[in-house]
Each structure stands twice: as structure tokens, then as C-alpha cells.
Structure 1
Amino acid sequence: MKLGFYPGCSLNGTAREYNESVKALAPVFGIELVDIDDWNCCGASAAHAVNRDLSLALPARTLALAEKQGFDEIVVPCAACFNRLAVAQYELNKDELLKKSVEKSIDMTFNNDIKILNVVQFIDKYIKNKITEKISHKFEHQVACYYGCLLVRPHKIIGFDRVEDPTSLDELMQFIGATTIDWGFKTECCGASLSIARTDLVAKLSCNIIKDAADRGAEAIIVACPMCHSNLDMRRPQIDEYVGKKISTPVIYITQAIGLAVGITPEKLGLQRHFVKVNTL
């Protein structure tokens, strides 16, 4: 089975390990992920705050290219990219004049009916029902599933999971043998793209997330967003300084956790690339 794949900027750069883990996991379940030809940046996280037309044209071009390539569905692992593509599709489908304007700006016409799947939806649809027969090492750890701001928002567009108390990541982790904690920071903001401009704010916001997960006994924090991973993993020195102690709880992607459970090597999953070591897993 072939599905379209939109890596976005992060998965080709700072979140290389996310890309590696998704691409390593898919073949185990008979899925070939094919990159969209000539894809471009989706505009996250600033385009929609600067220019509305640009914020729609950037993801629209990628959707048009995917449609031209013959894909009915595309997998978009980055939560921010998924949000921008889904929002653009929604906005253009409800305003035909706006869609024609965007089509003119990108010099392409398209139906705009391609199915966009985030990584959890992709796993739910194509992998979950086959996991049991593939598991070789149950992921028997206590984890905190962190959804962040964008994976399930805005609900009227995404229509996926519950906004304030989502459970989809928890259910997947429980499916591979993990115990998930009940905690209050699963959808709190990590500071997002303020990582460089206001590292102090990111340290404060991310500290609340990391500390609460660690205090509740989490052996790992599970994420599905490269920006969240970057803030919770790369900014750990600033977080440790803010909290006044070293917290060694690692942050891993849902695809890495499932990959470990089905016997993919840590190296193929990119676990060696993390700033906070994941040796305990």
C-alpha cells in the first residue's frame, strides 16, 4: 500500500529522528510512504499571523501537488504541519472565491478533497489492528502522553479526539503494553516557536510539563510533534535550571515507542539523536 507523505521542514532537519522512525515503522506493516514531489514549507508557525493569503497558498500548493501525484490520502506527522494543511483545506472548501484566488496565486487547480492524516490517525487506521501480531517487546513503562496545542485543535476542523482531555495517544501506548498516567498538562503549551525568541518563557512553560510528568512517575513523555519534542528535549538545560534540579525523563515520539515494541532497533528509530538519553527504555 502506498500513501503520500509530507515531511515538512522539521522532519528534514531538527526532527530527523521523527522522520526516521515513521519511515522505519511503515514497512513493518506493509506500507510505503512516498514523499510528495516538490513539497514546500506549510507556513508554520508564522505565516498565518503575517499574511492570510500566504498562509493558505503554502499548504494549498502541497495539497495540489499531492492530488496531482494521485494520492487519495497523505500522512503528515508534524502536528503543526497537519494543523496548517487541515485549516487551509477547511477554509478553501467553504469559500469558492478564496479557493480560486489561491489557485491563481499557486498557478494550479485542485479538487481539495484529499484526506489528511496526522500520525495518530495514520497509526489508528493502518497499524493498530496489526500491532498485536508484530509485538516482540512490550513497552512496559509508565508514560505521560503529551498532545500539545495543535494535534487535536481546532476541533471544528480536525474533528479528532477530545480537545481538553484527549485519549488517542494513551490508547495506543496502552495497546503496546504501557501504563499511562492521568495528569493535567497533556494539552498545555510548551512555548512553541518562542524557543529562540523567548527561551526563558519556553523554559518556564516546558518546566511545568516536564516536572509534573516526572513527579507522577513517568519514565518517558510521549509526543507527536517535533516542536514539542524540541522544546522538551533540547531545552532541558534551561528547564533544569528553572526547576532547580536535573530531570532525566526522556521525550520520545509515538512512532519510536511503537517501533521499539515491534523490534525495530533504536538506531533505526533515531533514538541516539536525542539530547536527553533514552537508555532507560
Structure 2
Amino acid sequence: MSRAPFSTKTLRTTQARAIPGVGQAFPQRFTQSQFTQKRTFKTVEEAKSRYSIGPFSLKAGILFLVTCGGLVWYFEFEKQRMQRKRIAEANKGAGKPLVGGPFELLDQHGNRFTHEELKGRYSLVYFGFTHCPDICPEELDKMAEMLDIVYEKRPNSLTPVFVTCDPARDGPKELKEYLAEFHPKLVGLTGTYDQVKAMCKAYRVYFSTPSNVKPGQDYLVDHSVYFYLMDPDGDFVEALGRQHSPTAGAEIILNHMKDWRGQKKF
């Protein structure tokens, strides 16, 4: 079988195909052009889209986080406010208040002092006695600290009251000297044994003095250890115990003041 002669034309074609780069230049240029076009942004909107993640931009993401944080704070604030409101309303009871009521005593200056004097602003009432060796001084120091914290934000919005459970030894003079060591705004109250007992009963305060005490004999008085927060209407709001620090107690008081319907006065 004879073969076709190997022509010069065929050789040139074969050589041309074998030469590197021949027949490849155009595809290379086309590929480079495509690559360049893919990395070129045609519009400003497309350029901005580089900072977007899916349908959200960085600005939208920040706004979303801030909004969520604000909602969490708002719902937590409302939750605490409603809780304080429930406490205040529950403590008022139905009809007669659970804690508090009318009383008539003398202050440390010898002037008549009644429950009406406490209306118009919040008051913090504590029961103790001047011969108390440890608890009363500690609690009165705490009371003074709470008062200063509250006054810093709401001046003269709170009346601090100390009621003696030992009227036999705590007259106006003794109260005046004793309370001067703690805070100048403290109001000290005393009276007859029956008057003090009646107020303690109204405030649900337990106190007990030893029987058969001889004149001049020293003794201790057992009593409840609470601060009674009263609102401007004279109604009981909340009791603060020894577990509350001065800062925590002041915060509770200030929060109740914010909730008060006539809060512009405070």
C-alpha cells in the first residue's frame, strides 16, 4: 500500500502546531480579560456590597445588636418595676395597711410629732434604743450612708426616723445627744411606754424589756431589726433588712421613688 507523499505544506503545519505559544496567545489574552472583568466593580453600589455579608451590611448588624440590647434592658427594667409595684401594693393590704398607722410621740427637741409629719415625702423608720451595744450603732451608720446616697441624687427626699423601744431611759435629751453622732437629719422619737408600744404594734415591731428591773440597773431590749420604708401617703412600701448594704438599700429606695406617681416632687 503506497503512502501519500509527505509534502512541505504538511511539514510547515506540523511545525507550526509544535511551536510553543502558537495558537495559544488568543486564549491566554481572553482568559486574562475575563479575570480582570471579574475583579472590576462597575457601580458604587457593587463596590459597597464588598462590605456586606449576604443581605446584611456591617451598619445593619451594629444597629441590630444595639436594638436587641435596648429591648433586653427595657424588659428587665419593666420587670423590676412591676415587681416593686406588686410588693408595694401587697404591703398596703386591703383596707387597713399591714404596717404603719397613726401615732403621737415627741421628737428629740421635745416637740409633738405625729404620723402626719411623715406625709409628703418618703420616710425610713427604724426602731432601737440608745443603750444598744452593737446592732443599733451599726444600723444607724448604715442608715446615714443610705441617706447620703439618696440625697446625692434626690436632696431632702427622705426623712430618717429613729424610734426608741426604751422610753424609760431614752427621753428627748438622750435621743438628741445620741443621734447627733450619726446624721444631722435624723429624727428621734420617744414618749410614754404605752405610746411607744402602740406605734411598735402598728409597725409590727417586736420588742421586749426584762421584767422587775431595779432603778439604775442596766439591761438590754430585744427588738426587730428592720428599716421600714414608707411612701409620701404614709403607706408601707418595703422592709430593708441587715442583708442589704447601704448601696443596695439606697438603690431600692431610689427605685421606689422613681415609681411614685408624684415623682416630680422627688
Same fold (TM over 0.5): no
TM-score of the superposition, structure 1-length normalised?
A: 0.23
